Amino acid sequence: MAPAGRRMSPPLLLLLLCAGTLRATGAAEAVSPERSLVWGPGLRADIAVPVRYFYIQAVSEDGRNLTASPGNKSFKVSIKSLSTKEFVRIHVPDPLDRNDGSFLMRYRMYGSAGEGLVIEVRHHDQHVAHSPYILKGPVYHEYCDCPEEDPDIWQQTYSCPSSEEQISKDFAPFPSIDLKRMLEEVPKRFAESRGAIVHYTILNNQIYRRSLGKYTDFKMFSDEMLQSLARKVRLPDFEFYINVGDWPVEHRKANDTPGPLPMISWCGSSDSRDIILPTYDVTHSTLEALRGVTNDLLSIQGHTGPTWDNKTEQAFFRGRDSREERLQLVQMSKKEPELLDAGITGYFFFREMEKKLGKAPLIGFFDFFKYKYQVNLDGTVAAYRFPYLMMGDSLVLKQDSPYYEHFYTNLKPGKHYVPIKRHLGDLLDKIKWAKENDEEVRRIAKEGQALARELLQPHRLYCYYYKVFQMYAERQINRPEIRDKMEQVPPPDDNTAMCDCHRKKVDKKDEL
């Protein structure tokens, strides 16, 4: 429920603004268009992520960052082709109010702008910061096949970190990668039992693959990401196997004989050696934001519920019955309803428990943030909602877990979230502690949110993918090849890809 009491209708708001009395009413602090800040990758022509984005920070006349929303209509953004002769379809929603004095501006281009773009950011009728921003063309859209040939230049442009702790850790057991050995062993060891392995070869920036098994539908996510990346940067030649099932697969230890194989998965665990990529969920959310999906990692930033003081002081959980602790949590909440509101929304693994525990109605994910504390319990593996919970402004109580996603190593328990024991023995005490230490808890929630916002930015995701592929390619000791039964992943066959790529392409020798 939106707090309605003090909100003014737009005409009244306008009247007050004209009279210059807004400040006196105390409704919101006045914004200085000159001092406010605008920054981010969406102001650069050469960062071609599916949804381009930048940030606006409202700053007061005396130079302080606003920490509460100055109103969700405070900033207006227009984005147009620089050339009046060129029409480019661009989806430009309103800036997302992040309710902390900052805004996230997103836009999705459906064509490339040859001459460039002009981005105007206004507060009422005044330009904000250095608006108008001119992005000198060409500004390519997501589907334009126009890879940067020099990966170093590309990584600099995207401000990719020079190293990622998780990637270094993942590759430590694999100083070299023997493709011949993998070709012999992978199908026997991993494909026959699980049937969720997809074998890819990238040659000359073209993508080929074959499925090893029946449960490989999720290859649509790896296909999409590889294609998206190959449109932005020239990929190295490499050949790898991705496990598109839930569980990591390689359980041999680094010093076992025979040694482990460098399998690639979406989720890692402390007892497996799989090299991990961002999950299909994070990937899909990034590729399809403002298009196919609505609860994505960008839009969530504008839907974090009531302000801290107006959140219900309870821990909250809704989810399916994919792990026993989830049922245990519901039982705890029946005993301590003041502290914890937990419910199972769907039964599949423990159907016999439905009678006893009941079924909670589904609620929209954004409504989770009406509660101050969020309980994150594993599902079959890591709960893929964790990144979304971290993006909210509630405190996350995270179950200790052997499972992890690509960005977890950057988060510190106690600093960015509050850890709880795997068997949940300390959960109720931690909730009580949280209620008694509101200031500290709020700070942890904020720090966690800030780090998640940084780490999970779309351009960082592309950096992560590239780095994994680069490290992998460097370690290969044989030449990647297009293997028997592989087929090329076709580019989109509609006209969404039409564009004029001005980058000089290295000659592609057609090998087929």
* Cα–Cα distance, 421 to 415 (Å, whole number): 16
CB 60 within 8 A of CB 30: yes
Give yes or no for residue 6 binding ligand NAG (CB under 6 A).
yes
SS3 at position 108: strand
Instruction: Please list every residue from 90 through 119 that binds ligand NAG, using CB under 6 A.
Output: 94, 97
The residue (of 193 and 307) whose beta carbon lies closer to ligand NAG is: 307
Q: Judged by CB under 6 A, which of 2, 19, 24, 512 binds ligand NAG?
A: 2
Helices marked H in 51-148: none
Give yes or no for residue 25 binding ligand NAG (CB under 6 A).
no
Most distant CA atoms of the chain, gap in Å = 79
Please report how close the Cβ of residue 128 comes to ligand NAG at its closest, in angstroms. 14
Please report how close the Cβ of residue 3 comes to ligand NAG at its closest, in angstroms. 3
Q: Provide the total of helices (H) and of strands (E) in the chain, helices listed first.
A: 14, 22
Please report how close the Cβ of residue 286 comes to ligand NAG at its closest, in angstroms. 22
The residue (of 103 and 280) whose beta carbon lies closer to ligand NAG is: 103
The residue (of 33 and 213) whose beta carbon lies closer to ligand NAG is: 33
Give yes or no for residue 470 binding ligand NAG (CB under 6 A).
no
Sheet containing strand 371-376, strands side by side: 340-346, 312-320, 371-376, 395-399, 418-420
DSSP secondary structure, 286-353, as one string: HHHBTTTBSS-TTGGGG---S-GGGSEEEEEEEEES-SHHHHHHHHHHHH-TTTEEEEEEE-SS-GGG
* Cα–Cα distance, 98 to 392 (Å, whole number): 10
State which residue has the least CB distance to ligand NAG.
Answer: 3
Instruction: Please list every residue from 46 through 85 that binds ligand NAG, using CB under 6 A.
Output: 57, 65, 72
* Candidates 111-119, 307-315, 350-358, 496-504; binding stretch for ligand NAG (CB under 6 A): 307-315
Please report how close the Cβ of residue 365 comes to ligand NAG at its closest, in angstroms. 17
CB 54 within 8 A of CB 39: yes
* Candidates 3-11, 77-85, 179-187, 188-196; binding stretch for ligand NAG (CB under 6 A): 3-11
* Candidates 5-13, 75-83, 147-155, 326-334; binding stretch for ligand NAG (CB under 6 A): 5-13
* Cα–Cα distance, 148 to 466 (Å, whole number): 13
Phi, psi of 445 (to 5 degrees): -60, -45
Give strand pairing partners of 317. 342
* Candidates 11-19, 74-82, 235-243, 305-313; binding stretch for ligand NAG (CB under 6 A): 305-313
Give yes or no for residue 5 binding ligand NAG (CB under 6 A).
yes
Terminal Cα-to-Cα distance of the chain (whole angstroms): 60
The residue (of 26 and 361) whose beta carbon lies closer to ligand NAG is: 26
Please report how close the Cβ of residue 309 comes to ligand NAG at its closest, in angstroms. 4
Give yes or no for residue 148 binding ligand NAG (CB under 6 A).
no
The residue (of 167 and 445) whose beta carbon lies closer to ligand NAG is: 445
Please report how close the Cβ of residue 418 comes to ligand NAG at its closest, in angstroms. 23
* Cα–Cα distance, 403 to 223 (Å, whole number): 24
Please report how close the Cβ of residue 77 comes to ligand NAG at its closest, in angstroms. 12
Give yes or no for residue 3 binding ligand NAG (CB under 6 A).
yes
Give yes or no for residue 301 binding ligand NAG (CB under 6 A).
no
Give strand pairing partners of 318. 343
Q: Which residues contact 454 (CB under 8 A, 6 or more apart)?
A: 460
The residue (of 232 and 303) whose beta carbon lies closer to ligand NAG is: 303
Q: What residue type is 258 in one-letter code?
A: P
Please report how close the Cβ of residue 354 comes to ligand NAG at its closest, in angstroms. 36
- Where are the extended beta strands (E) located within 159-205? 197-203
Please report how close the Cβ of residue 2 comes to ligand NAG at its closest, in angstroms. 5
CB 138 within 8 A of CB 446: no
* Cα–Cα distance, 399 to 255 (Å, whole number): 30
Give yes or no for residue 312 binding ligand NAG (CB under 6 A).
no
Please report how close the Cβ of residue 193 comes to ligand NAG at its closest, in angstroms. 49
The residue (of 94 and 224) whose beta carbon lies closer to ligand NAG is: 94
Give yes or no for residue 314 binding ligand NAG (CB under 6 A).
no
Please report how close the Cβ of residue 446 comes to ligand NAG at its closest, in angstroms. 12
Give yes or no for residue 37 binding ligand NAG (CB under 6 A).
yes
DSSP secondary structure, 398-428, as one string: EE--SEE-TTGGG--BTTTBEEE-TT-TTHH
* Candidates 130-138, 214-222, 302-310, 376-384; binding stretch for ligand NAG (CB under 6 A): 302-310
* Cα–Cα distance, 70 to 63 (Å, whole number): 15
Which helix (H) or strand (E) segment is 106 a member of?
A: strand 102-109
Please report how close the Cβ of residue 291 comes to ligand NAG at its closest, in angstroms. 18
Please report how close the Cβ of residue 312 comes to ligand NAG at its closest, in angstroms. 12
Count the site residues for ligand NAG by CB under 6 A.
14
* Cα–Cα distance, 432 to 425 (Å, whole number): 13
Chain residues that interact with ligand NAG, rule: CB under 6 A: 2-3, 5-7, 37, 57, 65, 72, 94, 97, 307, 309-310
